[in-house]
Amino acid sequence: MGEIHRIDESNGHPTTELPGDTPTLRLFALLEMIASKDQLFTLQGLVEETGMAKPTLHRMLQQLEGAGLLTRQNNGRHYGTGVRLRRFAENLLLNDTHHGARHAILRNLVAELGESCNVTTLSGSEVVYLDRVETSEPLRFTLHAGSRVPAHCSASGKMILSQLSPAQRRRLLARMPLERYTTKTVTDVELIETELKQVRRDGYAIDDEEFLPGLVCAAVLVPCATGNSNLCIAVQAPVMRLTPDKALKLLPALRRAADAIGEIENEVTDDGSPDLN
């Protein structure tokens, strides 16, 4: 999305072009601003951030909260994105117009590596599969677009979590059900934080049978022109074919595919964001 401009009710811009849509666009701009910030907002904080009158802003927040697009946290004092807004974002990624080109890149990657590959994103405490191409090997773990796996013990989840700010990551980890799925699953928050710092330095993440016994995965970020990426590309296979050491040798191919998908995702240069100055 484009840059969010300051919302100012006294901006003096003419409202004759789309007068009926002005409240809708301001609601959307408020949502976009809240979603783009690495923090929760109080009502007063939003007044200072937007320059809007408190009664007007409070009414807008009530509308967005009532629709499930925002939610209140910390004893109702702070506003953050709601479940409905996150589901909306997931559906956009699952069904966007770039799906065909993205899928073709995955098919080519699977043909090159001989193993199943997928594109994923983080949604709360889970990783959502946005796209998936299976290997032709008879022994494989079958997943599909829309599948969900835990973030703390999956390669894609660790990769994306490693890119968050410490404060945002702490909030997410505090809310995550850090379940143990195998004997290799790490559930201690401090140990997870240590691993995520290493993942950030390395630029890749490995899942060594941490989610499913016998399954090894490697993931890298899809580059994002506008900030931290929330997309990963990953390869996974049974440990008898893909050990962690072998997975490291596949990283160059993964990164080439990630760069290609990044070019597709970033190709829109004018998103039509309203100038609300």
The whole model's pTM is what?
Answer: 0.68
Q: Is residue 213 within 8 Å of 182, Cβ to Cβ?
A: yes
Q: From CA 188, how far away is CA 254, in angstroms rounded?
A: 29
Please provide the CATH number assigned to the domain covering 88-265: 3.30.450.40
| Cβ neighbours around 145 below 10 Å, total | 16
| Ramachandran class of 266: left when φ > 0, alpha when ψ lies in -120 to 50, beta otherwise | alpha
What is the CB-side half-sphere exposure of residue 78 using CA atoms within 13 A? Answer: 10
User: How many residues are given for the chain?
Assistant: 277
Residues of the chain with CATH 3.30.450.40: 88-265
DSSP 206: E
- Decide: residue 191, CB within 10 A, 0-12 exposed, 13-18 middle, 19+ buried: exposed
Q: Is 244 helix (H, G, I), strand (E, B) or coil?
A: helix
DSSP 242: -
Which CATH number applies to 19-81: 3.40.640.10, 1.10.10.10, 3.30.70.270, 3.90.1150.10? 1.10.10.10
Residues of the chain with CATH 1.10.10.10: 19-81
pLDDT tens by residue, the chain, 277 residues? 333 343 344 444 322 222 235 677 778 788 777 776 666 777 788 777 777 778 888 888 888 888 887 888 767 778 777 777 777 766 666 566 566 788 899 999 999 999 999 999 998 889 999 899 999 888 888 787 778 999 999 999 999 999 998 888 988 898 899 999 999 999 999 999 999 999 999 999 999 999 999 999 999 999 987 777 889 999 999 999 999 999 999 999 999 999 999 998 777 433 444 333 3
